[in-house]
Amino acid sequence: MFTYKKDLPLDFSIYSSAVKARASYLYESDVIIENQADLVSISVISETKEEAASILKDIAYLFYREKILSETKEIRAALWDK
């Protein structure tokens, strides 16, 4: 088994629960997301290095995407008249 880790700045912690829910639905591998005192820690445990690295990148992307959508939620609603 291989473990890959990545840390994100603490301001990403508000998206952790949304990303955890999505990750548990999308991946069978173990994905551990923890909000710590000064950062968000992501760990992926998988059978191959390639898969662990790929999932870790995907998880980071899920955080980035949640941030983008969260920051643009109101203007998106206005664009689509909702």
Question: 1 vs 57, which CB is nearer to other proteins?
Answer: 57
The type of residue at 71 is E
Which lies closer to other proteins via its Cβ, residue 23 or residue 52? Answer: 23
| Closer residue to other proteins, CB minimum distance, 36 or 70 | 70
What is the footprint of other proteins within residues 45-64 (CB under 8 A)?
60-64
3-state SS assignment for residue 82: coil
- Picking from 22, 17, 53, the residue whose alpha carbon sits closest to that of residue 33 is 17
In 3D space, the residue among 15, 48, 20 whose CA is nearest the CA of residue 33 turns out to be 20
Q: Which helix (H) or strand (E) holds 74?
A: helix 73-79
Please tell me whether residue 39 binds other proteins under the rule CB under 8 A.
Answer: no
By CB under 8 A, is residue 22 in contact with other proteins?
A: yes
CB 66 within 8 A of CB 19: yes
Binding site for other proteins (CB under 8 A): 8-9, 12, 22, 25-26, 60-65, 67-69, 71-72, 75-76, 78-80
